[in-house]
Amino acid sequence: MEAASFAPATIRRTSRRLGIRTDASNRFEKGLRPRLPELALRRACRLLEQIAGGTVNSYIHDLNNPDSVQSLAVRITRSRIRAVLGMEISLDVAESVLNSLGFELLDKGQDYLEVAVPPWRSDVTIEEDLLEELARIVGDDSIPAIPLASALPQALPSGSKNLRDLSVDILVAAGMQQIITYPLTSQGILDSLPEDLVKGAVKVLNPMTTEHEFLRPSMRPSILQVASYNYRRQSRSLRLFESGRTFFSRPGNLPLEKEMLVGLLGGERWDGTWIGEKGKLGFFDAKGVLELLFGKLGLRVKFSPAESYWMHSGRTAEIKLVGPENTVLGVVGEILRGALDSYGLDLGALAMFEIDLDAVYENTLLHGDVTLFDSFSRTPGVYRDLSLLADKDHSSGAIREILEAHPLVVAATLFDLYEGEGKAGNQRVLGYRLLFQSVDNTLTTEEVSQAESEILKILESQLGISLRS
């Protein structure tokens, strides 16, 4: 008759290398105490004698020196009993309980107790395991109910979390779908990003797979991968967004984490239905979603021409906060054809926006001491239409910024654009509808005309724009 115990790590490695899983490998890789084989042999021999009438003809032959196999010793202290269990248990009571469970006393002091763990208790390895046995035998109902020394800490509201949740609600209400992706990415994805982002990438020390070796420095690849997955499954109308964190390395410190919001719109405006306007989603749809978002957050923004990786140079705008500092909040633009092809997306124009939620939080109504209510005018407004002759180099956003800078102009809306015959090759006609309104009084015709004249002078002096004759 033979009984044995093997090294768990060796059994585990060999089983995985050979690809063989058996009951024996499952048993031994979890670890068996070295003294268990002798106990098992003695018990088996006793049963053979009692039941089958067998006779033991030899002693037990141990291939290892039995004296070298030491029992596991675990120590408990009075202070630890009090700290973990919350009650006093004398060492005499602890000794009696442990002896009844098969633990052998090795050493006993004034404040501690050391016992040998029996070979059949492989679940007991540390002091807390012994404390659990004491609590089980003495009884959980013996633990006194002691009130906390202080009041429960109150969770402070997180403004940034509130902003993220509010942004999600607004975008979902706008008809977009939220996605959640892994914050990990691969070396192949990093190779497609700009060099400054690649240098700041944070590498994971123990990645699970080669697809998750780095913490993402950008969320653009993640949302394009999801768009590609849905496109391959016949989804031809994409309105996706994700809020999450990007990571950048900092030598000698933890990575810098930035809360970002990225969105994507493309494909059919109406997918599989005859209702609604036909056409493709694109840049202006993304711009409209952002105007809704910032409007709900109480922020006035402007869109200025910009450059950004993976985006069309002539169809990309930087999103800035209206004010003297011109704080950049994000970017919106159409994805380059080359980037779309690399992800297998054939949807025509595909618009993407990326918003820095940390920058938004610093300027939104959710943060700081700001006025949450502005009084509104009880007087009627006056509408005036302006037909302006401007160079094509001047963006509508720059013109609108000047129009709305006048204290009597509440809103300026572009309602017409003409680039036809009769105009110089580098000029176009823009039609704006201005709403003049005062908080204090009803405006007269003379006041509106004076304000209109002041606006035209500023347009002429700063941008060379004149009223169409």
**Residue 97 near residue 138 (C-beta atoms within 8 A):** yes
Reading phi first (left if > 0) and then psi (alpha if -120 to 50, else beta), residue 102 is in left
Given this model, what pLDDT does residue 370 score? 46
Positive or negative: CA dihedral 446, 452, 457, 458: positive
Last residue of one domain, picked from the residues 336, 363, 390: 363
Q: What is the pLDDT of residue 15?
A: 87
442: amino acid identity, one letter: T
> How far apart (Å, rounded) are the C-alpha atoms in residues 350 and 264?
7
Cβ atoms of 182 and 151 closer than 8 Å: no
180 and 326 assigned to the same domain = yes
As a whole number of angstroms, the distance between CA 217 and CA 193 comes to 9
Q: Provide block-wise average pLDDT over 10 residues at a time, the chain (469 residues).
A: 79 88 82 74 86 82 61 87 85 90 89 86 85 86 71 65 90 95 93 89 90 93 94 90 93 88 90 66 92 89 90 91 86 93 88 94 62 69 92 84 90 87 74 91 92 94 87
Q: What is the CATH number of the domain that holds 112?
A: 3.30.56.10
Residues 167 and 314 in one domain: yes
Which amino acid type is present at position 365?
L
248 exposure class (CB count in 10 Å sphere: 0-12, 13-18, 19+): middle
Spell out the residues 6+ positions from residue 232 whose beta carbon is closer than 8 angstroms to its own. Answer: 344
Residue 178, domain member (yes or no)? yes
Is there a domain that residue 221 lies in? yes
Q: What pLDDT score does 277 carry? A: 60
Please indicate, yes or no, whether residues 339 and 252 belong to a single structural domain of this protein: yes
Name the nearest CA neighbour of 353 among 262, 259, 280.
262
Residue 57 sits in the same domain as residue 173: no
Q: What is the CATH number of the domain that holds 389?
A: 3.30.70.380
Alpha-carbon gap, residue 72 to 122, rounded angstroms: 10
Amino acid found at 384:
R
Structurally, how many domains does the chain consist of? 4
Domain identity same for 137 and 166 = no
Long-range Cβ contacts of 315-324 (<8 Å, 24+ apart): 315/283, 317/287, 317/397, 319/290, 319/294, 319/353, 319/355, 321/363, 322/401
Q: Is residue 421 part of a domain?
A: yes
Residue 426 in contact with residue 333, Cβ under 8 Å?
Answer: no
Distance between CA atoms of residues 350 and 34, nearest Å: 66
Q: Do both 99 and 126 map to the same domain? A: yes
Considering the domain boundaries, does residue 104 fall inside one? yes
In a domain, 358, yes or no: yes
Q: Do 188 and 255 belong to one domain?
A: yes
CA distances to 162, 325, 361 from 166, in Å: 6, 25, 11
Q: Which residue has the tokens 């768990």?
A: 8
For residue 405, what are the CA distances in angstroms to 226, 408, 437?
A: 41, 9, 13
Phi, psi of 343 (to 5 degrees): -105, 5
**Helix, strand, coil percent content, the chain, rounded in steps of 5:** 35, 25, 40
Q: Which CATH number covers residue 304?
A: 3.30.930.10
What is the spatial order of strands in the sheet that 466-467 belongs to? Answer: 409-418, 427-436, 382-391, 466-467
CA distances from 392 to 204, 342, 455 (A): 49, 33, 20
What is the rounded CA–CA span in Å between residue 327 and residue 313? 21
Describe the strand order of the beta sheet including 328-335 as a list of residue ranges: 177-178, 237-250, 253-267, 350-356, 328-335, 311-321, 301-305
Give the pLDDT confidence score for residue 357 in this predicted structure: 92
Q: Do residues 455 and 408 share a domain?
A: yes
> Helices 91-100 and 127-138: crossing angle, nearest 10°?
90
Cα gap 185→192, rounded to integer Å: 12
Domain final residue pick, 329, 363, 397: 363
Domain-embedded: residue 322: yes
Query: What domain range includes position 42?
Result: 8-62
Based on the domain organization, do 244 and 301 belong to the same domain?
yes
Q: Which pLDDT belongs to residue 398?
A: 84
Residue 292 lies inside a defined structural domain of this protein: yes
77 and 42 belong to one structural domain:
no
| 8 Å CB contact between 249 and 367 | no
Q: Are 93 and 105 in contact (CB under 8 A)?
A: no
Identify whether residues 282 and 430 lie together within a single domain: no
Say if 311 falls within a structural domain. yes
Question: Are 75 and 58 part of one and the same domain?
Answer: no
**Which of 363, 392, 413 is the last residue in one of the domains?**
363
